[in-house]
Chain A
Amino acid sequence: DGGITQSPKYLFRKEGQNVTLSCEQNLNHDAMYWYRQDPGQGLRLIYYSQIVNDFQKGDIAEGYSVSREKKESFPLTVTSAQKNPTAFYLCASSIDSRDEKLFFGSGTQLSVL
């Protein structure tokens, strides 16, 4: 079955540590996105990528980094510069950046120890 796989489901970060959240899709989609969700709030865009080897900052990119070396993969690194990383992170994809329908993964809950 085609879809988006995010791993791990739960992740814990120690102070000063970088952690990487995985996002893999087998939908052959060009565009991929990372969103952050805080309690009682909607989703906010961290980074997006329209094609391989290209990515752009969203509204809240500070303290995060991404790469897009393969079409299927769009990992998100939460760096030590992100002072409030505890949140639910959702990865999404669409056929391309013009397509309206986003497909979402099941998310990763990141917490700080």
Chain B
Amino acid sequence: AQTVTQSQPEMSVQEAETVTLSCTYDTSESDYYLFWYKQPPSRQMILVIRQEAYKQQNATENRFSVNFQKAAKSFSLKISDSQLGDAAMYFCAYRSPFISSGSARQLTFGSGTQLTVLP
């Protein structure tokens, strides 16, 4: 079974600065998908960015980028020019590329990192 670990329960960053959130995972699969989700106080899960394991190029979405290191099984999220609206709980998640027999093709989530943005 896959596991996802987020070792930073809480992080803080000054507005306009850059912050990096860490995520490691464990899998025996060679092809998979990785995601970062944001959960603001409204508690709705919002997809921030996703990475396909077979793509070597790191994904980027505006101020959000990832550092994907497949051999190290590491998938960190970098937020540049942090804004007050970035304050939220951030979850790293893993998903298999196919349905294994008898199991759901589910998202496996880490425990989350609470990000505070200081004005």
Docked-complex contact A41 and B45, CB < 8 angstroms? no
Our pick among B43, B95, B105, B112 for the contact of A88 (Cβ within 8 Å) is B43
B93 at the interface (CB under 8 A from A): yes
Residues of B close to A107: CB separation below 8 A: 43-44
**What is the total of A-B residue contacts with beta carbons within 8 Å?**
53
Residues of A close to B46: CB separation below 8 A: 104
A45-B106, A48-B104, A59-B106 known; A101 and B42 CB under 8 Å? no
Residues of B close to A57: CB separation below 8 A: 104
Give bound CA distance, A58 to B110, whole Å.
17
- Output the nearest chain B residue to A45 by Cβ-Cβ distance: B106
Docked-complex contact B106 and A104, CB < 8 angstroms? no
Give bound CA distance, A57 to B105, whole Å.
11
Footprint of A on B, CB under 8 Å? Answer: 4, 9, 33, 35, 42-47, 50, 91, 93, 95, 99, 104-112
- Output the nearest chain B residue to A9 by Cβ-Cβ distance: B43
- Output the nearest chain A residue to B50 by Cβ-Cβ distance: A100
Docked-complex contact B4 and A42, CB < 8 angstroms? yes
Docked-complex contact A100 and B33, CB < 8 angstroms? yes
A2 at the interface (CB under 8 A from B): no
Our pick among B4, B44, B99, B110 for the contact of A104 (Cβ within 8 Å) is B44
A90 at the interface (CB under 8 A from B): yes
Residues of A close to B109: CB separation below 8 A: 42-44
A-B residue pairs in contact (CB < 8 Å), sample of 20 = A33-B106, A40-B112, A41-B111, A42-B91, A42-B112, A43-B91, A45-B106, A48-B106, A58-B104, A59-B104, A100-B33, A100-B50, A101-B47, A102-B45, A102-B107, A104-B45, A104-B46, A105-B44, A106-B42, A106-B43
